[in-house]
Every structure is written in C-alpha cells, then in structure tokens.
Amino acid sequence: MNRKKASSHSQILPAMAAIFVDVLSYGLITPLLVAAFTENLFLAASPQWQPIVLALAFALFPLGMFFGAATLGDLSDRWGRRKTLILCMAGLTGAFALLALSVATSSVTLLLLGRLISGLLGGSMAIGQAAIIDLSTPENKPQNLSRITIANAAAHFLGPGIGALLADNGLYLPFISISLLAIATLIWIALKMEETRTVESVAEKINWQRPFQIFAEAFANPDIRRLSWVYLLFHAGNSMSYQFFYVLLAERFDYTPGELSLFSALAMGGGGLLATFWLLPLLQKHFSPLTLSIYPLLLTGFLSQLFQVALPMELRWLIGVIWAIALISAYVSTITLYSNCVDEARQGWVMGIANSVFAFSFVIGGLSASLLSWFQVETLLTFAGLLLICSGALLYINAKRFS
C-alpha cells in the first residue's frame, strides 16, 4: 500500500468519523435513559421493576463491550479494519433504531436488545484508532493521534447537545439521529476508505473466552493487579456517580429530557473539554501521572457526595464541571500508570486489560441502579463517592509501586 496515499485526509477522516459517532452515541444515552424511566415511558415493566430494568439498560452496554471488544479486535486482524468498522457502524445503526422504536412503543425488550447490541458492536474507538495508526508514519503519528482526542472530546460535548436540542420534542428523535449518522458513516467508509492492514490467513479461531483470560493475566501480575483494583473502584464509582447525577436532577428537580441533556453537554462535556485542551496539558508539565491520579480521584469522590446536599442549582452545575475535569485527569493519568507497568512490546496487552476492567466496572455501576428500589438516590451518590475516595486512597497506599 502506498503509505503517502493511505495517510491522506481522505483515508483518515472516515476512521475518525467512526470514532466520533461511537463516542457521540455513548455521551447521548445516559440522560435520555434516565428521562425515559422518570417519565414512565416503560410502564410495561410494573413500577416495582422499573429500577431493575433501568439497571439492566445501563449494564447491558458495558457487558456487551466486555465480550465484544476483544472479539472485534481479533476480527479486525483477520478481516481488516475497514470491514470491521463497517460491521460496527451497521450494528450501531440497528441498535439505535431499536432504541428509538423501544421509546416509541414503550418496549422493554427492544430497549434491552438495543443496549446489548450497541455494546457488542461498539468497538469503533479501538479499531478506528488502530486504522489511523496503520495509516501513520513516525513523523505524523502524534498529529494523527491528537485528532482522535479532538474527535473524542467533541463527541462527548455534542452527543448530549443533540439530546438537548431534540429530546423535548420526542425521546426517540436523538436515537434516530445517531442511527442516521451511523449509516452515513458506514457508507462513507464503504465508498472512500481503503483497507489499512494487510489481512493474512490466521488459523487460530476466535477465542470467546478471551475477556476472562485477560482478567486472569491482569491479576497474575502484582503491579497490574493492584492498579486494576484501583481502576475497578474508580470506574464503578465513576459510573454510579454519573448516572445518579441525572437521577437526582430528574427526581428531585423535575429536569426535562432536554435539561438533562443540556447539563450533560455543558457541565460534563464542558468540563471534559476544559480538561482535555487546557488544564490537563498544563498540569502534566508540573505533576506526575501518579499525583494526577490520586488527588483527582479523591476530589471526584468528595464532589460526588457534595452534589446531593442542599445547594443552589448553579453550584451543582459548577460541581459537575469540576467533577468532569477531575475525572478526565484521573482517567488519562491512570491509563498512563498502566502503560508504565510494562515495556513497549506489551502495550497492546496492558491496554486490553485496562479496557476489560473498565467495561466490567461499568457493568457493576450500571447494575447499581437496581438499588433505587431500596435506597434514596442521595444515599447511592454517597456510596459512589466513597468508592472513588477508596480508589484514590488505595493508589496512595501503593504509591511507591508506581512512582
């Protein structure tokens, strides 16, 4: 393949579009799911089952991602990046069409099926990144990877923004918009993107037990085991805090679907943009990844508990912005700690571990929504904050291993 041709914008942009749509769909969903259940759109599930169905709706996506990510990575090595990205976009198109239909018909079955499919086939981030790396030379690789960060941050902001614009006119409309964007991206990839990887015949079969093997490998290495416990607590607390912020705003303050999405776009997305493009690069010049993991983790835990106390709403929005900034700092820095645990030859392996722990922790966080049957949302936010504080404390205790 002609490297100069492959690295042109016409080849990189379709892969970036796939990453953008994948992240856009993730950022859009949480406030809309909370709104759907707050407005009792799924009364087909009797009221006492509502928290359990909401928990399943949250948990099925990361559960699908847990099993799908490793498999899609293997498929991209066998089929090539282009075909696998087309599969992911087709899956996302179908999944969000099912979600739109589920809202329009109040079908719990379609809702849960759509969430599972979106997780199983939501691997565009990793595969798109691999395609962009395939297309890059050593000279332009940093620039090309920085574009991924831009696409990621913009999608986290614009996803909820789409929800804010459309949701109050019908909760199905944001889901339809994602489905249309995914099918447009699929067509773009099919027509304009060339294969970025030479596909070789591989005799070894796809290993469906790979996610469990990754966990076993993680916990066999002492340093990675310690860091994985930190990461598990971190993202269980992160996912719980994130979803219960919206539950609190909907239940206690009667936020509409559009208002929930606006909070997600401006507070969460805005904080993420500030961290990604300004504050974190500045802090990284003066502090180590360890410091930028421990103290932001402790801060997110404190803010998760502060969010649910009696405060003016303007302060809650400010807390959301600061929480998102601290979260991005902790996320990027703990990933760096993972990377520092191994040599260059094992970077793919250790990132696979981090992604698997991340997905598993979000399954735990998603299932925690079922506790709304027994506990007030304020209590669950307090517990989520404690998990984040425990993750920072555990990392502090093991600081010498990672300094």
351-385 residue pLDDT tens: 778 888 888 999 999 999 999 989 999 999 999 99
Q: What is the pLDDT of residue 5?
A: 43
Q: What are phi and psi of 15, to 5 degrees?
A: -65, -40
Distances, alpha carbon 388 to alpha carbons 202, 239, 293, 395, in Å: 42, 10, 11, 11
| Segment 12-30 mean pLDDT | 86
Residues 6+ apart with CB under 8 A from 158: 24, 27, 265, 269
Residue 70 has pLDDT above 60, yes or no: yes
Residue 269 falls within a domain, yes or no?
Answer: yes
Q: What is the pLDDT of residue 145?
A: 64
Residue 200 falls within a domain, yes or no?
Answer: no
Extract the tokens encoding 279: 């504050």
Same domain, 12 and 160: yes
Could you report the per-residue pLDDT of 119-178, keeping only the tens digit for each? 988 877 778 777 777 777 766 666 666 677 777 778 878 888 888 889 888 889 999 999
Q: What is the pLDDT of residue 161?
A: 86
- Polymer length in residues for the chain: 403
Residue 203 falls within a domain, yes or no?
Answer: no
- Determine the Cα–Cα distance for residues 117 and 63; give it in Å rounded to an integer: 10
- Determine the Cα–Cα distance for residues 36 and 118; give it in Å rounded to an integer: 18
- H helices of 254-312, where? 257-263, 270-274, 280-284, 291-306
Residue 394 falls within a domain, yes or no?
Answer: yes
Residue 203 has pLDDT above 50, yes or no: no
Helix axes 81-105, 50-79, angle to 10 degrees: 160
Q: What is the pLDDT of residue 221?
A: 82
Same domain, 250 and 319: yes
Q: Rounded mean pLDDT of the chain?
A: 86
Same domain, 331 and 274: yes
Where does residue 253 rank: exposed (0-12), middle (13-18), buried (19+ CB within 10 A)?
Answer: exposed
Residue 1 falls within a domain, yes or no?
Answer: no
Q: Strand, helix or coil at 234?
A: helix
The predicted model scores a pTM of: 0.86
Same domain, 189 and 223: no
Asked which of 161, 194, 227 is the last residue of a domain, the reply is: 194
Asked which of 167, 194, 221 is the last residue of a domain, the reply is: 194
- 125 vs 59, more confident: 59
- Determine the Cα–Cα distance for residues 259 and 163; give it in Å rounded to an integer: 9
Same domain, 358 and 220: yes
Residue 242 falls within a domain, yes or no?
Answer: yes
Q: What is the pLDDT of residue 400?
A: 87
CATH number of the structural domain spanning residue 124: 1.20.1250.20
Share of the chain above pLDDT 90, in %: 47
Extract the tokens encoding 141: 């690789």
- 74 vs 111, more confident: 111
Same domain, 161 and 256: no
- Determine the Cα–Cα distance for residues 267 and 315; give it in Å rounded to an integer: 11
Distances, alpha carbon 148 to alpha carbons 22, 94, 123, in Å: 12, 25, 14
Distances, alpha carbon 121 to alpha carbons 91, 94, 95, 172, in Å: 6, 10, 9, 21
Q: What is the pLDDT of residue 140?
A: 67
Same domain, 186 and 223: no
Residue 319 falls within a domain, yes or no?
Answer: yes
Q: What is the pLDDT of residue 245?
A: 97
Could you report the per-residue pLDDT of 273-305, keeping only the tens digit for each? 899 888 998 999 999 999 999 999 999 999 999
Structurally, the chain folds into a number of domains equal to 2
Same domain, 176 and 235: no
Same domain, 309 and 384: yes
Residue 190 has pLDDT above 80, yes or no: yes
- Determine the distance from the C-alpha atom of residue 193 to the mean position of all C-alpha atoms in its chain, rounded to a whole number: 25
Torsion of CA 144, 362, 387, 223, to 10 degrees: -60
* 61-75, 98-112, 233-247: range with highest mean pLDDT: 233-247
Residue 16 has pLDDT above 70, yes or no: yes
Residue from 31, 316, 313 nearest 161 by CA: 31
Same domain, 385 and 322: yes
Residue from 224, 196, 188 nearest 335 by CA: 224
Could you report the per-residue pLDDT of 217-265, keeping only the tens digit for each? 777 888 889 999 999 999 999 999 999 999 999 999 999 999 999 999 9
> What residue type is assigned to position 108 of the chain?
V
Which domain covers residue 100, as residue numbers?
7-194
Residue 204 falls within a domain, yes or no?
Answer: no
